[in-house]
Structure 1
């Protein structure tokens, strides 16, 4: 099942050379784990609900195990300080949904678990 690394990053107004080095080297750390950028540093084009400051990064992986192995890899761990010294933010690793995912089926399971009646 596809998994994702998602970042909501807050770069400083002036980026340091280290950030550019990070960007130049990060893809090489993703390649062994099948990672590819789906979104890279884009500000939200529109925020119809809530507040979303920062730049969005979404990287897709073939599996959660691949995403986790990439993040923990020595090559990526060596790059992290080049980014974190110049931007704060949140990063998470998360599973995607399986092919054929049905949100109504999930609602039924959650409803039953909560003791709620049928809709």
Structure 2
């Protein structure tokens, strides 16, 4: 068993910060087999999945905020005196606009499929 001094929260953080369970176990000073026993418990898996989801939500939110600043900077570059910078900004904006339209179309198709409409 993992020593009681290693909490589930510490174990979860080690798993999130290590590419493998073996490295997470080494970080905590326990064997990989011992770590796996705790990880396999359904209560632990539920809590760990929830923690990962919350972390991804936080990261997604921060990236969304940063994307507004990045988009504004691209628009500013359209007025640059540097022709290459203006050209690059134009190309990037067109590419991102195209990607956004395509993604929105896919989302709309999925919505129609989920709602039973063609």
Note whether the superposition's TM-score is higher than 0.5.
Answer: no
Question: Which band: TM-score by shorter chain?
Answer: under 0.3
Task: Identify, as 1 or 2, the structure richer in strand.
Answer: 1
* Structure with the bigger percentage of helix: 2
Q: Which protein is bigger by CA-based radius of gyration?
A: 2
Higher relative contact order (CA closer than 8 Å, sequence separation 6+):
1
TM-score (norm 2): 0.27
